[in-house]
Amino acid sequence: MFFDFHIHGNIELVKEAERLGYSGVALVNGDHNNHKSPGRDRNHHSSEFNNHHPPEGYKNHPPEPGIGVGPPEIQILNGVEIHPKNSQDLKRKLQKFRKKADVLMVHGGDLKINRAACEDPRVDILCHPYRARRDSGVNHVLAKKAAENRVAVEFNLKYLFKTRFSHRYRVLSQFRDILKLQRKFKFPLIITSGAHSIYDLRSPFDVMALTRCFGMNKEEAYTALYETPRQIIEKNRLKGRIIAEGVVLVE
Amino acid sequence: MKLKILPPHLRNKKRYLAFEVISQKPLTREDVIYLIWEAAAGLYGACGTSNFDLWVVKIWNCDVPHKNVLKGMLRCNRAEIDAVRAIIPNITRFKGGKVVSHTLGISGTIKSSTKKFIKLKE
């Protein structure tokens, strides 16, 4: 059971992800081209998926039931990645997209935006806080806030694979820095592919093997690929029924 | 004169890793071997790669319509299998075309690896 929460793409990518062994993906739309409701887009994908005949392997090995029970064997979530200009813009966009999105991501990289995202419990994932930076973009202050508000910090493998060999050391050391903070402050970590095509997807066990290179052990890798996404799904399922922290409306 | 082969308990223990390579442009056997060595050297350097006893055993050309798919088998040291597995996702591009590689499985013998993971059509 593994999840990939950052896929830009179409049904072909979802099918490939399923073949590789993912049980759930989040198809991410940017906020800049959001004339139509992202929710509608998700239904479009699902219906397209239902009409498609399952690949032959299915008959012999039906997938195990689990979280993603439903007509498409792979769970498709609707993600929105917002690109805020500043922290006020972030708040405005959060208000606009929070209800429509299953997974809400913030395009990080800028320090002020990283900080604002970590301080807001409505944010699910802070994407690549290390983007276009020399440092990791997360310090102890942000780490504490992220742990308080359960904002997951993303390791986007796109940045590892798409940079040149001579610059990969920087990405690896940024991952290492974030991991060091994570071990102390216990904020959630998530590993995603950031895939735009089938050539960017990697199978989950290969990713687990790769995480050794920046010092993650097997349990941590499993948490980042499975537990954290599951918690995000769970949190958003309860969305709207939480009265106060720790109090949930049951019926 | 040929060297006498080592007794079994002194030999290096081996594992066979089956993988597939999907690429935009058609690849040859030499290209795949080059890609693997380059990815290994890029990730671990010469010093690290020397521990793995890497060897590409065989490459199969698969007939998949509209796709260039190759399947292959790597031999490596049993103790280093996790590190070797991390090399496979590091194959990203070749001569301007995108390439992706996935591990199909790990096995102790060539025979079972071919049977279980490569699954050639007879």
Q: What is the pLDDT of residues A103-144, one digit of tens each?
A: 899 998 888 999 999 998 888 899 989 888 888 888 899 999
pLDDT of residue A58: 37
Pick from A49-58, A115-124, B76-85: least confident? A49-58
Q: Is the pLDDT of residue A96 over 50?
A: yes
* Domains, chain B, with CATH or none: 13-113 (3.30.70.3250)
Q: Is the pLDDT of residue A170 over 60?
A: yes
Q: Are A68 and A46 in contact (CB under 8 A)?
A: no
Mutation for A interface: B20, B38, B91, B100, most A CBs within 10 A:
B100
Distance from CA of B1 to the nearest CA of A (A): 42
Q: Is the pLDDT of residue A67 over 80?
A: no
Q: How far apart are alpha carbons A36 and B16 in whole angstroms?
A: 50
- Please report which helix (H) or strand (E) contains residue A145, including its range: helix A140-149
A98 has a chain B CB within 8 A of its CB = no
Q: Is the CB of B89 less than 8 angstroms away from the CB of A207?
A: yes
pLDDT of residue A251: 72
- Please report which helix (H) or strand (E) contains residue A94, including its range: helix A87-97
Pick from A14-28, A65-79, A188-202, B93-107: least confident? A65-79
Q: What is the mean pLDDT of residues A31-55?
A: 44
Q: Which residues of B are less than 8 Å from A165 in CB distance?
A: 42
Q: What is the mean pLDDT of residues A89-115?
A: 88
Looking at every residue in chain A, the average pLDDT score rounds to 80
Q: Are A21 and A41 in contact (CB under 8 A)?
A: no
Q: How far apart are alpha carbons A174 and A167 in whole angstroms?
A: 11
A13 has a chain B CB within 8 A of its CB = no
The pLDDT confidence band at residue A185, using thresholds 50, 70 and 90, is very high
pLDDT of residue A66: 39
| Residue A117 to residues A126, A165, B6, Cα–Cα distance (Å) | 7, 31, 61
Q: Specify the CATH class of A3-248 in words.
A: alpha beta
Q: What is the mean pLDDT of residues B77-97?
A: 90
Of B83, B99, B103, Cβ closest to residue A206: B103
Which amino acid, one-letter code, is at A21? G
Q: What is the DSSP letter of A66?
A: S
Q: Is the CB of B83 less than 8 angstroms away from the CB of A209?
A: yes
A169 has a chain B CB within 8 A of its CB = no
Which single residue is written with the structure tokens 């993303």? A154
Bridge partner residues of A85 (DSSP): none
Q: Which residues of A are less than 8 Å from B89 in CB distance?
A: 157, 161, 202-203, 206-207, 209-210
Q: Which residues of B are less than 8 Å from A197 in CB distance?
A: 98
Bridge partner residues of B103 (DSSP): B19
pLDDT of residue B93: 85
The pLDDT confidence band at residue B122, using thresholds 50, 70 and 90, is low
The pLDDT confidence band at residue A72, using thresholds 50, 70 and 90, is low
The pLDDT confidence band at residue B13, using thresholds 50, 70 and 90, is very high
The structure tokens listed for A50 are 């239902």
| Residue A131 to residues A31, A85, A155, Cα–Cα distance (Å) | 18, 15, 10
Q: Is the CB of B42 less than 8 angstroms away from the CB of A209?
A: no
